Amino acid sequence: MRAAAAVLLSPGTKGDRHGPTSFANYRTVHDSRMQNFVDKGFVISHTLEFGRPTHGHISLTGEVRCLGPITIHVDKKLKVLKGRGPTATVRTVEYRYHAQADGRGPLFRYCSPHGLGHLPCHHVHRYDVFDTWAELLPVEEIWNGNAVPTLSDVIEEAQAIYYRYDF
């Protein structure tokens, strides 16, 4: 099932916002976007770090501390498709972005397809932030590859929640 979702999201054509790119480009865009969020004041700090290539993958893990009580936990895996070093071609193959209001509960969590017994597609878990903080069902499935969020999209969604609901 996991392979079916990966094929669906791997058209390899122009317009695929999650298409392969060089690691140097990926890192430049990532660093620029994170600095932009810091400069604009919503992101207070972050501990995001790229790991060393291991078994053909590069990890990106850490936390993004935002205004108010919001923290976004990031666990992402880039697959090295070819090459090595800054010119290596990479593509995101797994991710989990978990936004929470510290001391209150989870806001939302985006996940790639994962494991047996779980959804075979990208998906988002949402929570009742106004009352019980319980998970709202059903889990939202994401089948359109270009609708899968980037980390920047996730930070912008957390920012919208912060300003809209006076966190």
On average, the pLDDT of the chain sits at 90
Is pLDDT at 120 greater than 60 in this prediction?
yes
d(CA 64, CA 73): 7
Q: Which of 3-7, 10-14, 81-85 has the highest mean pLDDT?
A: 81-85
Using only the alpha carbons of the chain, give its radius of gyration: 16
Q: What are the tens digits of pLDDT across the range 100-109?
A: 999 999 999 9
18 pLDDT tier (thresholds 50, 70, 90): confident
Q: Which long-range contacts (CB under 8 A, 24 or more apart) does 44-48 make?
A: 48/74
pLDDT band at 5 (very low <50, low <70, confident <90, very high): very low
Phi–psi pair at 153, nearest 5 degrees = -60, -40
10, pLDDT greater than 70: no
Flag whether pLDDT at 152 surpasses 90: yes
Please tell me the distance from the alpha carbon of residue 61 to that of residue 52, in angstroms, as a whole number: 12
CA distances from 46 to 19, 65, 147 (A): 25, 6, 25
Joined tokens for residue 138: 């059903």
pLDDT digits 0-9 by tens, 41-92 = 999 999 999 999 999 999 999 999 999 999 999 999 999 999 999 999 999 9
What is the reported pLDDT for 14? 61
Instruction: Mention every residue, 6+ apart, whose C-beta is less than 8 A from residue 82.
Output: 88, 89
Helix (H) / strand (E) element for 65: namely strand 57-66
Residue 29, pLDDT score: 96
How confident is the model over 118-131, as a mean pLDDT? Answer: 91
Nearest partner of 107 among 63, 47, 65, 158, judged by Cα:
158
In the structure encoding, which two tokens stand for residue 46, read together? 């972050």
